[in-house]
Each structure stands twice: as structure tokens, then as C-alpha cells.
């Protein structure tokens, strides 16, 4: 499949290959299970984690531009990085970006994975494999009412994510629901693992498939493989994203809590090493179960004014990354933060030395008075660990937060945490999706090494955004935020706020920056990827600069002496609408309009125009100054306004709907007037006094319009004979007339 040539979604036949099955015999466990213990909640270290760059990534509103089937929640973002590109997959959308945060392409994952008609796609995962320089992606397609499903896979034919991909499917079942497949790639094999449920209800066990990597990379029509499971003694295995070349593939699972799915009761922490390949016939499953402090089912998380309103699911492991014999994994947990009186949802992080294997670290990160959930872990080329997760509390909406641990740090100490994207609004999915109870928020976030700069790691997380009534997501909107992180020498500088926080798309806004550690002549600011001009610092806490030109909402960052300052804020570029052509059209809509202005976003779905209260359809922007769209139906003279990436524009122009007449009843009356007539047509304004009718040039009285297509009026006096009846709506004369005869 050519990604850059993806058509609109259509029913496409699914290609399947038969894979030989290898069943796993049960592993004998001896001795009593370990007694649960409490993991330590760590304190911060002196390490400095820097935000190198960041940008607003895919949102629900942006995803909806692909079609109504993209109106899904919760957000499950994943990110992968090559030397030149980033790939984000969220729910049912895929997107390709450059390293500056410019969107190259967005596409429907239902089409990308050749999902059959009637099926829905979910749970995407994406990896860039440094060994083969290929992208690997996975997910699941399912269909009601039995929720039969198929695991779907794809591998690119090159390092270009916009080029050709090969699609595969595995284990298509009419009754088994394959939940949350996760993918890992070693030097010679591809491993996919998931939980199987009978008709989305009864837990059957974990299933793990091992596939011949060389055949998938070559795009072979048949791929050798081996299947293990369903195995009800284990659940939720996570294949590790492996950053250094290694033939063995590692998987982990949380065996300390058997309450969620009923499995894993006899072990503490499962570490699996799969060796060999299906093609060689020597594949082996090697498992060890070291003891760790047990996790617990996490409580719900709070939002402002809505305690316990966010579901945090369970304590299965969500993510794993391996490099040079060190593996990190993590998931949700319950803990008591320092100084807190209530148990909160926390993030459990575990480090394993796989040569043993030996658990080297096992601890929680927590927030006093709030919740931390859905951690995603990454590692850089030096073995430094990075983690991105969500945070919310009674005083903060759901945002994206990061921390990490340098490889040389004392065990169970972390870098100072920082919120890189605060939430914007209260999140409540129930009115949008007809659900009740705590709102589902997510299943995971994403992290990935940057192979171009091995000292950096990309992360992506979701946050609660401000929705729109037009898209039907007011109150349940979400968006994702991507950031490039690194550990560097502390600059001592922070950026805390800017004023003003918005300005014209043409740039030129004088902005005041507030923070700490600023140095005059050595401090620079960026608005997204563009540098501000005329930066000057009057003190170490205050600087000024002039905004560059830009579009939409961008992240503002600072550097001091070439090193990034911590913290980031956002700046909204305000678009402007200067003219439209034509300025009139039929009340039934359908007029193709050219909109001219500044600050338009060429990304599909990012720029919208409203004619009165109704949005134009089919909006397409060829540049930042010109777009086209089709007028909706309407009435009268309305104001046209522009919105770009949620930012309302300045300036307004008027569009006049031309009314039309279809009939009048009765069609005759006395010359003295006084006949009550009903007039039908299109484009009538129901506001009193805005719609008028003329009988041979004489205004009717007592005009009342119940709808835009039907009005009543009282005929004026007129000489005998036939007259034309026309409508005038907000000063615009109708394009047609009806006849009335005076007797």
C-alpha cells in the first residue's frame, strides 16, 4: 500500500496467511507466592530533563476530518521516530510529521490496515526498527455483536513512512476478541502478544505470536510463525521495544495481582526471553519470575469539580523498552503519596537487568493530592530513562507530564517532573458517547528513541482539550502533544509565562517573557520552529521579543547559552479573514466560495469557516492566505468568520443568501387587500422584520415566518389585475417570484 496515495475509506479484502501453531506447555511453579510489599515512592534527583522541542499533534477535531468513524475515545497515542520523520498513531488515525512538527500526512488506519467492511480498528502500536530501517505497526480489527477480531500488522518497504507498506493479518476469529495487541521487534523476529476474550467477555488467556522478520521485511505473501496460547495462566504480556541489536526478544507481564483477569496468581513478575526463529524451527520460551513488591488496582482520578471522574483501568504493564541488557517497564498502581491522606493512582516503574534476570529498581512515582497514570517509558543511547504520563487533580485538568532518570543516578531517584502540556477543560465522555460512570481516558501513551540524535527521546501524551459544538465533542474533546526530551547540563533557566498569549498570524507582536535564569544577549525564544526576533532581557526574570509569523497554536520555548530552558507555554496565532468571493448565493447553499485572509492552516480540518451559525463544507486551503469551501443553506445576510486550530479569527465579511419563492396560497384576493396568504420558498429569515414581501411593489403587512421555508402575510390594497410577489430578506431580493391576482 502506498501511504501517500491512500484513498477515502472503502471496503477492501483482507489478505491472510496461514501460520503454523506451537502450543506452550504449562510452566511449573514451586513454592508459595511472595507476600505483597509496598513499593517505595521516590524523591527527585538533581538531574535536569530538558524539552528540546514540542508541538501540538493529532486531536479529535483533526481526526474527525477523516470521517465520522473517527469519533472515538479514549485517546491511545503512539509515536516512533526515524532519522527524518515521526509517525503518530492514535485510535483510528495515522500521521507522519517532520522533526519540526509540520504535518506531512494524516490517514485513516481502517484503510491503511485493509480493515474489512463492518469492522472497526483500535489499539495501534508503531515502532521504527533501527536494524532494518523499517516501520512496524500493529492493531486489532473487531466487529459486533460477537466482537470477533483479527490482529493486523504492517511493515514499511523503506525508511519513508509515506511510501509502500506490506499488510498482514493474524488469527482472524469469529468469537475471540484480541485485546490490545502489542508489538516488539528483535534482529530476526517480530513478536505480537495480546489477551483473548470469548466474545469480549470471558478471559481465555494471553496469546503470543512469533513471526519471521526477514519474510515480513521482504513483503512475502506467506510468513512463517509460531503461536503460543491462549494461555490463561498469564495475561497482558508486553514485548519490549529493543533499541540495540539482539536476536532474543524480551517480554514482561505483571504477575503480582490476579484480581483483574484471574491469571498470574502464582508469580510475581514475569520476564520472558524468546530465542530462535519459526523458520529455523528452534524457537524457545524462557521465563523467569523474580519477586517484586506487588501492585494494586488503581483508584479513579480526580478533575476540578469532578472527583473520581477518570477511569484508570487496572495495573497491567503498558510499555517496555530494552537496551544493552537493561529493561524498563511500567503501568498504573495505587499508592499513598508523601503527605497525602488518600490513596491515589500512581505510576509503577520497574527496571530489570535481563542477564539474571534481576529486578534492579521497583518504585512508584506519585503526586500529593493528584493522580499520575498511563506511563510510557523510553531510553536514549546512553541508557537514560524517560517517562511521559498523565496528571490530574482537583485543581488541574488532565495534562501531560514528564520525568526520567539518568543512567548514573542513584537507584529510585528521578529528575524533577514538569508538566509540558496542561489540560484545557473538564473531560466527560458520557454525554458524547452515551456512557455512564467514570470516563475512559486512555490505555497508554508513547515514547521512542530519536535515532538521528541518540541522546534524545520523543514522547507523546494526551490531554483534555476544548471541544466544539459543531463537531459534537464539546466537553469530551482530547488532543495529543509531542515533545523531544534530553538530559543536559542544567541551565538554571525556566520559562513560566508570556504576555500576551496570542497575536496576528503575520507576526510582529511584542511579547514579554517571564521566568528565571535569563541572560541578556544569550537568551533566544522559539514559537514552534520559528525564532522570535529582537530578543532582549532587562533582568534575569524578564525578556521581550517579537513574535515571528505563524499558524495555529504553537509551543514557545527558550534557550540560554544554547541550552534549553525548562518549561514551555503556548501562543495562539490569530487568523484574519479579509474577503470572500462571491458574496451572494442561493439560500439552499452549494455555492463554492474563495476565502482570502492570513494564518490559514493547510492541514485538512484545521481551518473552518462559519456562515452565520453554520459551517462551510469541503474546506480546502491551498496556502496560508487562500481557502475554498461550499456554503451551507441559510437565510439573510450573515457574518462569515474563520477559526484555525481552535483559535477564532479577526475580521469579518458578509455573505448574502438569495431567497427564492415557490408558491402562494390563496393565489387571489380583493383589491382592498386584507387576504392572509401563505408563501413558501427558501431563505426566509424568521427574525421579525427581516423578511418582507412586495405585491406589485407594495409591502405586505403582518409578515410572520415560522421556518426558513414558510411565511404568512396580509396582502396590501392594489388595483385589479395580476401582480408579481417578491421577497426581500435583509435587503436581498429573491431570485424568483410568484403571481397573485387582485379581484
For the whole prediction, is pTM greater than 0.85? no
Tens digits of residue pLDDT in 591-615: 999 999 999 998 888 899 999 999 9
Q: Any idea what DSSP says for residue 2? A: B
Distance CA(369)–CA(492), nearest Å, equals 27
Quickly tell me which residue has 503512539 as its cell.
78
Distance CA(628)–CA(577), nearest Å, equals 13
Distance CA(162)–CA(615), nearest Å, equals 31
Distance CA(653)–CA(642), nearest Å, equals 10
Distance CA(300)–CA(158), nearest Å, equals 43
pLDDT above 90 coverage of the chain, percent: 66
What is residue 427's three-state secondary structure? coil
Q: What is the pLDDT of residue 171?
A: 67
Nearest to 542 by CA among 566, 564, 517, 568: 517
Residues forming CATH 2.130.10.10 domain(s) in the chain:
3-27+53-487
pLDDT above 70 coverage of the chain, percent: 91
Distance CA(257)–CA(471), nearest Å, equals 41
Tens digits of residue pLDDT in 53-107: 888 999 998 888 888 888 888 889 999 999 999 999 999 999 999 988 999 999 9
Q: Are the C-beta atoms of 73 and 63 separated by less than 8 Å?
A: no
Tell me: pLDDT of 669 over 60. Answer: yes
Q: How confident is the model at residue 253 (pLDDT cuts 50, 70, 90)?
A: very high
Q: How confident is the model at residue 31 (pLDDT cuts 50, 70, 90)?
A: very low
What the block records as the C-alpha cell of 543 is: 525578556
Q: Which CATH class is domain 494-573?
A: mainly beta
Could you list the beta-strand ranges (E) of 188-316: 189-198, 202-212, 225-231, 238-239, 241-242, 249-254, 269-275, 284-288, 301-303, 306-311
Nearest to 266 by CA among 302, 230, 234, 305: 234
Q: What is the pLDDT of residue 718?
A: 95
Residues forming CATH 2.60.40.10 domain(s) in the chain:
494-573, 575-657, 659-742
Average pLDDT rounded to a whole number, residues 689-702: 95
Q: What is the pLDDT of residue 539?
A: 84
Tell me: pLDDT of 260 over 60. Answer: no
Q: Is 662 left (phi over 0), alpha (psi -120 to 50) or beta?
A: alpha
What the block records as the C-alpha cell of 128 is: 521504527
Range 337-340, long-range pairs (CB < 8 A, 24+ positions): 337/41, 337/366, 337/367, 337/368, 337/369, 338/41, 338/366, 338/368, 339/368, 340/366, 340/368, 340/369
Q: What is the pLDDT of residue 566?
A: 83
Q: What is the pLDDT of residue 13?
A: 24
Q: How is domain 659-742 classified at the architecture level of CATH?
A: Sandwich (2.60)
3-27+53-487 CATH, one of 3.30.420.40, 2.130.10.10, 3.40.190.10, 2.40.110.10:
2.130.10.10
Q: Are the C-beta atoms of 555 and 495 separated by less than 8 Å?
A: no
Q: For 369-380, what is the HEC assignment?
A: CEEEEEEEEEEC
Tell me: pLDDT of 38 over 50. Answer: no
Q: What is the pLDDT of residue 471?
A: 81
Distance CA(450)–CA(458), nearest Å, equals 6
**Which of 26-30, 542-546, 586-590, 617-621 is predicted least confidently?**
26-30
Tens digits of residue pLDDT in 416-473: 888 989 999 999 999 998 999 999 998 999 999 999 888 899 999 999 999 888 888 8
Tens digits of residue pLDDT in 278-317: 999 899 999 998 888 888 899 999 999 999 999 999 999 9
Average pLDDT rounded to a whole number, residues 371-391: 96
Q: Any idea what DSSP says for residue 297? A: P
Q: CA dihedral defined by 559, 564, 566, 568, rounded to 10 degrees? A: 70
Tens digits of residue pLDDT in 191-210: 999 999 888 788 888 999 99
**DSSP conformation letters of 9-37:** ----PPP-------PPPPPP--SPPPPP-
User: For the chain, what is the total number of helices (H) and then of strands (E)?
Assistant: 4, 65
Average pLDDT rounded to a whole number, residues 653-671: 95
Topology given in CATH for the domain delimited by 575-657: Immunoglobulin-like (2.60.40)
Average pLDDT rounded to a whole number, residues 153-172: 91
Amino acid at each position: 500500500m502506498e501511504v501517500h496515495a491512500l484513498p477515502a475509506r472503502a471496503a477492501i479484502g483482507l489478505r491472510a496467511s496461514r501460520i503454523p501453531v506451537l502450543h506452550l506447555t504449562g510452566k511449573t511453579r514451586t513454592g508459595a507466592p511472595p507476600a505483597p510489599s509496598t513499593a517505595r515512592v521516590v524523591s527527585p534527583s538533581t538531574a535536569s530533563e530538558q524539552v528540546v522541542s514540542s508541538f501540538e499533534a493529532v486531536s479529535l477535531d483533526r481526526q474527525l476530518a477523516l470521517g465520522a468513524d473517527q469519533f472515538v475515545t479514549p485517546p491511545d497515542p503512539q509515536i516512533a521516530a526515524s532519522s527524518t520523520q515521526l509517525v503518530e498513531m492514535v485510535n483510528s488515525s495515522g500521521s507522519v510529521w517532520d522533526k519540526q512538527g509540520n504535518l506531512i500526512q494524516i490517514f485513516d488506519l481502517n484503510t491503511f490496515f485493509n480493515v474489512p467492511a463492518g469492522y472497526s480498528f483500535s489499539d495501534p502500536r508503531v515502532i521504527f526498527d533501527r536494524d532494518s530501517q523499517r516501520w512496524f505497526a500493529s492493531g486489532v480489527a473487531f466487529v459486533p455483536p460477537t466482537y470477533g477480531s483479527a490482529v493486523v500488522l504492517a511493515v514499511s518497504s523503506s525508511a519513508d513512512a509515506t511510501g509502500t507498506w506490506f499488510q498482514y493479518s493474524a488469527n482472524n476469529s469469529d468469537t475471540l476478541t484480541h485485546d490490545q495487541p502489542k508489538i516488539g521487534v528483535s534482529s530476526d523476529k517480530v513478536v505480537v502478544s495480546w489477551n483473548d476474550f470469548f466474545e469480549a467477555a470471558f478471559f481465555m488467556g494471553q496469546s503470543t505470536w512469533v513471526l519471521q522478520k526477514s519474510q515480513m521485511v521482504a513483503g512475502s505473501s506467506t510468513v512463517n510463525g509460531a503461536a503460543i496460547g491462549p494461555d490463561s495462566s498469564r495475561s497482558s504480556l508486553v514485548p519490549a521495544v529493543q533499541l540495540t541489536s539482539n536476536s532474543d526478544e524480551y517480554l514482561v507481564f505483571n504477575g503480582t495481582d490476579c484480581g483483574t483477569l484471574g491469571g498470574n496468581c502464582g508469580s510475581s513478575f514475569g520476564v520472558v526471553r524468546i530465542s530462535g526463529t519459526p523458520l529455523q524451527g528452534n524457537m524457545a520460551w524462557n521465563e523467569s519470575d523474580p519477586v517484586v513488591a506487588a501492585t494494586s488496582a488503581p483508584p479513579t482520578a480526580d478533575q476540578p469539580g469532578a472527583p473520581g471522574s477518570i477511569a484508570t483501568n487496572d495495573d497491567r504493564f503498558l510499555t517496555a523498552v530494552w537496551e544493552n541488557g537493561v529493561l524498563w517497564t511500567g503501568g498504573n498502581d495505587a499508592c499513598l503519596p508523601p503527605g497525602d491522606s488518600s490513596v491515589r493512582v500512581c505510576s509503577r516503574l520497574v527496571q530489570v537487568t535481563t542477564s539474571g534476570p534481576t529486578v534492579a529498581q521497583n518504585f512508584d512515582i506519585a503526586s500529593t493530592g493528584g493522580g499520575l497514570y498511563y506511563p510510557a517509558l523510553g531510553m536514549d543511547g546512553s541508557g537514560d530513562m524517560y517517562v511521559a504520563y498523565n496528571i490530574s487533580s482537583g485543581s488541574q485538568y488532565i495534562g501531560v507530564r514528564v520525568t526520567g532518570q539518568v543512567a548514573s543516578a542513584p537507584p529510585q531517584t528521578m529528575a524533577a517532573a514538569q508538566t509540558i502540556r496542561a489540560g484545557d477543560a473538564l473531560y466527560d465522555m458520557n454525554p458524547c458517547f452515551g456512557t455512564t460512570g467514570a470516563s475512559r481516558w486512555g490505555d497508554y501513551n508513547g515514547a521512542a528513541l530519536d535515532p538521528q540524535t541518540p541522546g534524545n527521546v520523543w514522547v507523546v501524551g494526551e490531554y483534555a482539550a476544548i471541544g466544539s459544538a459543531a463537531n459534537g465533542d464539546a466537553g469530551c474533546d482530547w488532543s495529543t502533544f509531542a515533545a523531544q526530551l534530553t538530559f543536559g547540563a542544567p541551565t538554571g533557566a525556566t520559562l513560566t509565562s508570556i504576555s500576551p498569549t496570542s497575536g496576528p498570524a503575520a507576526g510582529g507582536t511584542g511579547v514579554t517573557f517571564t521566568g528565571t535564569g535569563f541572560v541578556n544577549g544569550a537568551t533566544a525564544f522559539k514559537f514552534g520552529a520559528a525564532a522570535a526576533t529582537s530578543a532582549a532581557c532587562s533582568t534575569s526574570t524578564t525578556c521581550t521579543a517579537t513574535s515571528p509569523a505563524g499558524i495555529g497554536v504553537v509551543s514557545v520555548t527558550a534557550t540560554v547559552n544554547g541550552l534549553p530552558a525548562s518549561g514551555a507555554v503556548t501562543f495562539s496565532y490569530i487568523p484574519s479573514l479579509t474577503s470572500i468571493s462571491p458574496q451572494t448565493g442561493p439560500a439552499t447553499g452549494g455555492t463554492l466560495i474563495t476565502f482570502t485572509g492570513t494564518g490559514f492552516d493547510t492541514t485538512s480540518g484545521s481551518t473552518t469557516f462559519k456562515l452565520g451559525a453554520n459551517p462551510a463544507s469541503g474546506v480546502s486551503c491551498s496556502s496560508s492566505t487562500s481557502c475554498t469551501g461550499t456554503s451551507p443553506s441559510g437565510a439573510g445576510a450573515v457574518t462569515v468568520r474563520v477559526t484555525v486550530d481552535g483559535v477564532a479569527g479577526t475580521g469579518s465579511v458578509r455573505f448574502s443568501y438569495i431567497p427564492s419563492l415557490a408558491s402562494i396560497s390563496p393565489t387571489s384576493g380583493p383589491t382592498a387587500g386584507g387576504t392572509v396568504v401563505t408563501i413558501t420558498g427558501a431563505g426566509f429569515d424568521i427574525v421579525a422584520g427581516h423578511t418582507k414581501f412586495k405585491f406589485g411593489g407594495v409591502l405586505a403587512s403582518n409578515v410572520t415566518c415560522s421556518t426558513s421555508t414558510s411565511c404568512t402575510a396580509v396582502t396590501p390594497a392594489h388595483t385589479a389585475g395580476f401582480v408579481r410577489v417578491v421577497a426581500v430578506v435583509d435587503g436581498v431580493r429573491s431570485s424568483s417570484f410568484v403571481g397573485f391576482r387582485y379581484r
